[in-house]
Amino acid sequence: MHFHHCLVIYLVLSAVIYGQHIENSEKGFLTEKFISEINEAQSIWKAERNNFKTWSKSSIKRLMGVLPGHYTQIKQLDILIHNVPNDLPDNFYARDQWPNCSTIQEVRDQGSCGSCCAFGAVEAMSDRVCIATKGAQNVHISAEDVLACYIGCGRGCDVGYPAAA
C-alpha cells in the first residue's frame, strides 16, 4: 500500500516538474525520457507514446466534456449509509481477485471518439458479467452499439450524456 502512495506522489511530482518545462503550446506532452522514468518507477502498466502525440491541445479538448443539458438527466439518488467493516484488507487488486476475467485488465482504445461515458459503462458491464458468472462468461459489450443504437446517449462519438450511458 505504501509503495502505491509513493508511486502516485512520484508521478504527480514528475508531472508538475515536467509541466514547468512545457510552454502553453500545441506541442506534444511527453518526452521519451519522461516515459522511461514512468516505466522505471513502476511495473503495473507500461507508458508508451499514443495515437494523440501529434494532436493539438484544442483537438484533444474537443473529445472532453458532455452535451449541454446533461445535468437535467441526472436523477437524484437516495443517500445510502453503509457500515464499513473494520477488517478491510490492506490492499486489493481486481486482476488477482478475478484472474479469469480478462476484461478487468483491458483499457479499450476509443480512438477519436469523445463518448468516454459509453466506453466506461460497457467496460464496467463486461467486468460485472464476468465477475457474476465467476469467469464463465468473458464478454465484450460493444460501446459502438450503445453509441449507434441509443439516441439518448448523445451524438455518437461527439460526446454525450453520461447519465444515459
Do 145 and 68 sit in the same domain of this protein? yes
In a domain, 97, yes or no: yes
Dihedral over Cα of 101, 121, 52, 23: its sign: negative
CA distance 43 to 137: 28
Same domain, 44 and 70: no
4-18, 66-80, 110-124, range with greatest mean pLDDT: 110-124
> How confident is the model over 125-150, as a mean pLDDT?
87
Tally of domains in the chain: 2
Tell me, yes or no, whether 148 and 70 share the same domain. Answer: yes
Q: Are residues 41 and 67 in the same domain?
A: no
Examine residue 145 and state whether it is found in any structural domain, yes or no. Answer: yes
Does an H or E element contain 3, and which? Answer: helix 2-20
User: Does residue 104 share a domain with residue 30?
Assistant: no
Domain identity same for 70 and 32: no
| CATH number where 139 lies | 3.90.70.10
Q: Write the pLDDT tens digit of every residue in 42-73.
A: 888 888 877 777 777 777 766 666 666 655 66
Q: Are residues 69 and 36 in the same domain?
A: no
Q: Is residue 84 in some structural domain?
A: no
Pair 50, 70 in one domain: no
Same-domain check for residues 30 and 67: no
Residues 32, 68, single domain; the answer is no
- Alpha carbons within 13 angstroms on the beta-carbon side of residue 123 total 14
* Alpha-carbon dihedral angle through residues 12, 105, 119, 67, given to the nearest 10 degrees: -10
Highest-scoring range by mean pLDDT, 25-29, 50-54, 77-81, 92-96: 92-96
Q: Of 86 and 126, which is predicted with more confidence? A: 126
- Residue 5 CA to residue 45 CA, distance in Å, equals 16
Q: How far apart are CA 19 and CA 17, in angstroms?
A: 5
Residue at 157 is within a domain: yes
- Prediction pTM value: 0.54
Range of the domain at 101: 63-74+93-165
